[in-house]
Structure 1
């Protein structure tokens, strides 16, 4: 099963408490944007993508864009 790195641009900064939850559930999570509105998550399969988007939805985080990011 293929895994990838995804970049999600959020309307507002991600809540610190949610970031802690994401880091406990997913392999690698980072927020490279200084304002915390970009979320990079590595090693996601299709089920994990759905779980991530559902978690963001359930916590009222609006996703502006979702794209596959370059592996660096």
Structure 2
């Protein structure tokens, strides 16, 4: 299986407190832009990606796009 990078585009910027929780739970998550509407997750298995999505949804954020990009 080829390594995959997941890019999640959110409707609004992610709260800094939630981003801190995400970075604590998942080692390979970053926000490449300054507006905080895109999350990039690397080296995560499918269960971790689902847990990340649930955390984002439970916090009230809306995911506009979810893309798996082969690296």
Q: Which residue of 1 aligns with 2:48?
A: 48
- CA shift, 1:32, in A, is 0.9
Q: TM-score when scaled to structure 2? A: 0.88
Distance (whole Å) between structure 1 residues aligned to residue 65 and residue 47 of structure 2? 19
Unaligned runs of 5+ in 1: none
Q: TM-score when scaled to structure 1? A: 0.87
Moved beyond 6 Å, runs of 4+: none
- Partner of 1:69, secondary structure, is strand
Cα pair 2:10 2:63 within 8 Å, conserved: yes
Deviations 1:14-57 (A, max 9, x none): 11011111111112111112211000011111111110110011
Aligned length: 71
CA RMSD in angstroms comes to 1.7
Distance (whole Å) between structure 2 residues aligned to residue 26 and residue 3 of structure 1? 16
Cα pair 2:8 2:67 within 8 Å, conserved: yes
Distance (whole Å) between structure 2 residues aligned to residue 3 and residue 48 of structure 1? 14
